[in-house]
Amino acid sequence: MGKLKAIPKFKTEAEEQRFWESHDSSDYIDWSKARRAALPNLKPSTKTISLRLPESLLEHIKIEANKRDMPYQSLIKSWLAEDVRQSREP
């Protein structure tokens, strides 16, 4: 590999983002020396949504959540995640 270019100093995150969108990082970073990073406390970004459910369905979900001693929103998320995971399996 040839000599690496110096990474410029950026004034803003947006400026840095524009730079990396148009430049190859391998010109600036020796990826052969990279190490895997572990970020155990990093939580995935979440987005609040509004979901209309029939009241009877919501009541049944709340009963199931209560049986599991967990918030009903957490139960809904776990069911959705499990369903998506299963649907992606070959």
pLDDT band for position 89 (50/70/90)?
confident
Is there a single domain that holds both residue 31 and residue 53? no
**Which structure tokens are listed for 39?**
């970020």
Is there a single domain that holds both residue 55 and residue 30? no
Asked if 71 and 65 count as a contact pair (C-beta separation under 8 A), the reply is yes
Is there a single domain that holds both residue 28 and residue 5? yes
Q: What is the pLDDT of residues 23-49, one digit of tens each?
A: 999 999 999 999 998 888 888 888 999
- Domain count within the chain: 2
Classify residue 41: in a domain, yes or no. Answer: no
CA distance 10 to 14: 9
Pairwise pLDDT comparison (90 vs 36), residue with the higher score: 36
Classify residue 3: in a domain, yes or no. Answer: yes
Classify residue 70: in a domain, yes or no. Answer: yes
This prediction has a pTM of: 0.53
Range of the domain at 28: 1-35
- Three-state DSSP at 74 gives helix
Is there a single domain that holds both residue 26 and residue 55? no
Classify residue 59: in a domain, yes or no. Answer: yes
Is there a single domain that holds both residue 53 and residue 90? yes
Is there a single domain that holds both residue 82 and residue 54? yes
Classify residue 43: in a domain, yes or no. Answer: no
Q: What is the pLDDT of residues 53-65, one digit of tens each?
A: 999 999 999 999 9
